[in-house]
Structure 1
Amino acid sequence: MRILQILGANDIKNLEENRLAISGAETLMYGIIRELIHYNINVSVVLDPWSSLKDKFEDMGIPVYYLTSKILLDLNTVKGLIDIVHKERVDLIHSHGYRQDFYTTIVSSFTGIPFVITRHSPIEKREWKGMKKKIFKTVDHISLLKSKKIICVSREIEKNIEKELHAKSRVLYIPNGIYVSKFKPKRNYKLKNGIPVITTIARIEERKGFRWLFETLALLKKKMNFKFQWVGHGMDFNLAKQIVSILKLEENVQFLGIRKDIDQILYKTDIFLLPSLVEGLPISLLEAMACGVPSIATDVGEVSSVIKHGVTGYLVKPGDKQTLLDIILYLAKNEAKRREIGTQGRKFVVENYNVAETAKRYLSVYKDILSK
């Protein structure tokens, strides 16, 4: 079985903004591909040239190709993908992302190679507006119709696509997974010098909720001293820095950029925050909980399937600054509760979100498609 994973072919105009950013889709598929090769599956990967994961894939001996696109329909990108399909003698294409789905649909029509889509976030809640949104939704609808299967990382996405296609048999829910063994449990829940370390791990984009988060931190600053760190990069980095400056949070907030030592950062974190306006099933939340870090996240996408409010973590509505502030203060002042929430959160993730199980379910989908 020869599978081509398409994670690249994004707009080259975003090169500078995204050259360091790693998406949850990339992190997920890195883990799944590592598992698939244990089953003697031949995998090749298409990445953006700026992907931070290219060395990892190459070290695994996986053929890696680099493609971008200059416009929505870039014929050079289409040709490049067709050449890769022929060179690698691909049996099945697996696409990750709206632009990737579009190109995969075209390539499939020329080559006859079937394809499967993983939908990592809902198109309905993207920031596209006006005519651009209409075009992308039309193109996306065609891709969904042509694909053999659509894998959804949240029940919300699954429900929306089932409603759109009226084809329940082709739409299935497979939750994300992580290497739980990589993330050892946090042991020390005491605050260093009485100051909580608060961490967010996400791309720096408006839809990740940094604006209302920083406004909440400005309120927190009036109540207590704290250290906040944002791990990640993205197209709205300069805007985020500007907001931090306007709110006079420079002494409290650090932007750490892309880091490879996520587990070490999480061990030193007292509270994990994920303020997203839109999500599927966030990998960073699973990683934080796997480390036993008490976590607060917005009730969007599949987050509520992981966080049972007050048991494995805390849920807040997007933009609810007062509730978020109250929970941060409560956790910061209560070591026993931090330990309790962190311990229960880790237990739940370890038992339910192992990437090895996720990979088995993906492999089952591949076999099902190719058996017909």
Structure 2
Amino acid sequence: MKNTLSIFCRWSYPKSQGGIPMHNYHLMNLLNDNMEINSISIHDQYNIDNLINKKGLQYFFIKLPFKSMFDLSFRFKVLDNWFRSYKDWIISKQMFKANYNFSSNIMEFMDIHSEGYYFLKNRNYFKNSKIIIRSHTPWTLLRKYYQAKDKKNVDSKWSYNREYFCFKKCDIITTPSKNLKLNLINIFNLNEKKIVVLPNIIDTDHFKPLKIRKNDGRFKMLHVGRFNRGKGVITMIKAFIKLAIKYDNIFLVNVGKTDKNILLECKTLLKKNNLDQRVSFENFIDYQDLPKYYGHTDVVIVPSELYESFSYTAAQGMSCGRVVIASDIGGIPETLNYGKAGLLFKPGNVRSLIDNIKKVYLKNINPKEFEYAARNFILDNFSFKVLKTKYLNFYKGQLKSKK
């Protein structure tokens, strides 16, 4: 009989295509031949139609009570953070109840929203299971990067206390980067031996260089991800404007959901400089279609001004053999091999970003060398082939040390 790993996360692929659900989906496919895998997420008909009985993976869905109440609460900003915290507690409790449908040798939770909180409060029910927290970026670390006006809609009461409790009471923590591990040690006073660095997984067969690239004389810049202030898009737009005024063959493509106020601010800046026709906003693009966007661009821009433990945009662009220019923040430098497989710039610094784009545009560096180094660094450190052994050894080790 296979050992069982249960992954708890409110979001699941394909309805949710952010970094966390993508990591869980890749992890399930990576280990499915060696372990029995369960996924527990919030009920969504789209996921049920597209995931049930697919590839032999086991999916369980919880229903969120008082859903209409939670939806209405977000209209009242004074109550928003309190209801958000209460919602997190309810989801954790519902996942706890769902766990009675099966037994698991290992249970894994994300740190965001402290979904393992109710489990760890009732640890006696799971004495024979190992509980792992997969830390992507706890809110306690992330919140200091937010401006007050942006923090208002994403903050959560009691977040530090719950995160601290979960980190202290779980058996082990994994992180995608060394930088996040160091931050957890410093913020929560954790023993370094309790934290294991396991890189996020990139599907290098899906994200791969195109055999033939279109060459229409345009220098194309690509931004993939949420178009909001924290992602550094205003810095990117300002850099683009200065470059585009001087060089008439530079264009910018943005892929991802947009913050309407930030979008308006950026479009106003572009129109003021008569550059609005050289920038496109594609909104959300399905995961399956992303490689062609990376493949037909000259440079991928990752201008984040929020802490990121890992950047999927950077890693996917590199896997497609593109030059990536990214903020020197959080764990992003590790993904770019500290500037050896991509270019780093100072977060929020327009001049620093411009200088790095010009290096590629004017060929002050050899783009082919960076493209080759980028692809090979991802293959050697983040591919299914390389990480399968690391993840299997990790989970086998947890089973051996199980009390």
TM-score by length of 1: 0.85
Q: What do residues 254-295 of structure 1 show as CA deviations (whole Å, max 9, x unaligned)?
A: 222132211121111111111112211212211111111011
* Superposition CA RMSD, Å: 3.0
Instruction: Identify if the C-alpha distance between structure 1 residues 166 and 237 changes in structure 2 by more than 3 Å, giving closer, same or farther.
Output: closer
| 1:339-358 paired onto structure 2 within 5 Å | 339-358=368-387
Question: Which residue in 2 is equivalent to 1:140?
Answer: 163
Partner AA of 2:250 in structure 1: F
Instruction: Tell me the CA shift for residue 57 of structure 1.
Output: 4.0
* Larger RCO, structures 1/2 (Cα 8 Å, 6+ apart): 1
Matches of 1:335 and 1:53, distance apart in 2: 47
Matches of 2:266 and 2:44, distance apart in 1: 27
Instruction: Tell me the CA shift for residue 51 of structure 1.
Output: 9.8
Q: What do residues 78-120 of structure 1 show as CA deviations (whole Å, max 9, x unaligned)?
A: 4431232111222221112321243443464554443101111
Of 289, 306, 309, the residue aligned with 1:280 is 309
2:28 touches 2:37 (CA, 8 Å); kept in 1?
yes
Matches of 2:11 and 2:314, distance apart in 1: 27
Question: Which residue in 2 is equivalent to 1:73?
Answer: 86
Instruction: Tell me the CA shift for residue 148 of structure 1.
Output: 0.7
| 1:218-229 paired onto structure 2 within 5 Å | 218-224=241-247, 225-229=249-253
Question: Which residue in 1 is equivalent to 2:360?
Answer: 331
Q: What do residues 10-60 of structure 1 show as CA deviations (whole Å, max 9, x unaligned)?
A: 9xxxxxxxx965211222221121011021x11121234569876664322
Matches of 1:242 and 1:95, distance apart in 2: 37
Larger Rg: 2
What number of residue pairs does the alignment pair up?
360
Instruction: Tell me the CA shift for residue 309 of structure 1.
Output: 6.0
- Give yes or no for the alignment of 1:252 onto 2:278: yes
| 1:169-208 paired onto structure 2 within 5 Å | 169-187=193-211, 192-208=215-231
Instruction: Tell me the CA shift for residue 370 of structure 1.
Output: 2.9
Partner AA of 1:2 in structure 2: T
1:201 touches 1:284 (CA, 8 Å); kept in 2?
yes
Of 278, 294, 302, the residue aligned with 2:331 is 302
Question: Which residue in 1 is equivalent to 2:120?
Answer: 105
3-state SS of the aligned residue for 1:194? coil
Aligned identity (percent) is 20
Q: What do residues 209-257 of structure 1 show as CA deviations (whole Å, max 9, x unaligned)?
A: 2222222222222122322222222xx5313321222112532222221
Instruction: Tell me the CA shift for residue 350 of structure 1.
Output: 1.3
3-state SS of the aligned residue for 1:222? helix
Which runs of no fewer than 5 residues in structure 1 stay unpaired? Answer: 11-18
Instruction: Identify if the C-alpha distance between structure 1 residues 360 and 117 changes in structure 2 by more than 3 Å, giving closer, same or farther.
Output: farther
2:8 touches 2:95 (CA, 8 Å); kept in 1?
no
Of 268, 290, 302, the residue aligned with 2:296 is 268
2:31 touches 2:392 (CA, 8 Å); kept in 1?
yes
| 1:5-20 paired onto structure 2 within 5 Å | 5-8=7-10
Instruction: Identify if the C-alpha distance between structure 1 residues 336 and 177 changes in structure 2 by more than 3 Å, giving closer, same or farther.
Output: same
Of 175, 190, 213, the residue aligned with 2:236 is 213
1:21 touches 1:52 (CA, 8 Å); kept in 2?
no
3-state SS of the aligned residue for 1:192? coil
Instruction: Tell me the CA shift for residue 76 of structure 1.
Output: 4.8
Instruction: Tell me the CA shift for residue 206 of structure 1.
Output: 3.1
1:32 touches 1:355 (CA, 8 Å); kept in 2?
no
3-state SS of the aligned residue for 1:176? coil
Of 16, 31, 37, the residue aligned with 1:36 is 31
With 25-34 and 102-111 compared, the bigger mean Cα shift is at: 102-111
Partner AA of 2:208 in structure 1: K
Which runs of no fewer than 5 residues in structure 2 stay unpaired? Answer: 71-82
1:295 touches 1:314 (CA, 8 Å); kept in 2?
yes
Partner AA of 1:238 in structure 2: K
With 205-214 and 327-336 compared, the bigger mean Cα shift is at: 327-336
Partner AA of 2:379 in structure 1: V
1:204 touches 1:232 (CA, 8 Å); kept in 2?
yes
TM-score by length of 2: 0.79
Question: Which residue in 2 is equivalent to 1:15?
Answer: none
Matches of 1:30 and 1:362, distance apart in 2: 14
Of 77, 87, 98, the residue aligned with 1:84 is 98
Matches of 1:55 and 1:358, distance apart in 2: 30
2:209 touches 2:319 (CA, 8 Å); kept in 1?
yes
